[in-house]
Structure 1
């Protein structure tokens, strides 16, 4: 079995208003050293191992998990224990 961890974040050109709100809250708590906060989404997909796994993960991310206009993704494939 393979475990695919998918991380979705906003593209750098898109304003991350949630991240800015969190940064403001963190600063109000006294943690002024925090310079940037980025919000994102995290998914875990479990697959049987097969030849086209990466191609299918890319398709799932492009067609379902992300908005390609404003988001980008990366993933890692791990051997599931």
Structure 2
């Protein structure tokens, strides 16, 4: 059964407040070489079906529920 890995991030034009907090905290811990931290979501799932069907259904899932297309981008990988 194919395993799907979904990566969801804020659109690059939007301020990532969580990423900024993490970047500042890492700097306070002495990791001042870390810049441009972006926070996102990662989802794993198994989806039954052939690869074209799985890709189509995962795209629908992302568009309808998993990602907010107004503020987020997504990409996914299907691993057989």
Superposed counterparts of 1:49-60, under 5 Å: 49-50=49-50, 51-60=52-61
Q: Runs in 1 of length 4+ with deviation above 3 angstroms? A: none
For each residue in 1:18-77, what CA deviation from the matched residue of structure 2 results, as whole angstroms up to 9, or x when unmatched? 000000000000111001111000111201232421111100001000010000000000
Q: CA RMSD in A?
A: 0.9
TM-score, length basis structure 2: 0.94
Q: Distance in 2 between matches of 1:21 and 1:76?
A: 29
Query: How many residues align structurally?
Result: 79
Structure 2: 5+ residue stretches without partners: none
Relative to its length, the structure with more helix (as a share) is 2
Aligned match of 2:26: 26
Q: Distance in 2 between matches of 1:52 and 1:72?
A: 21
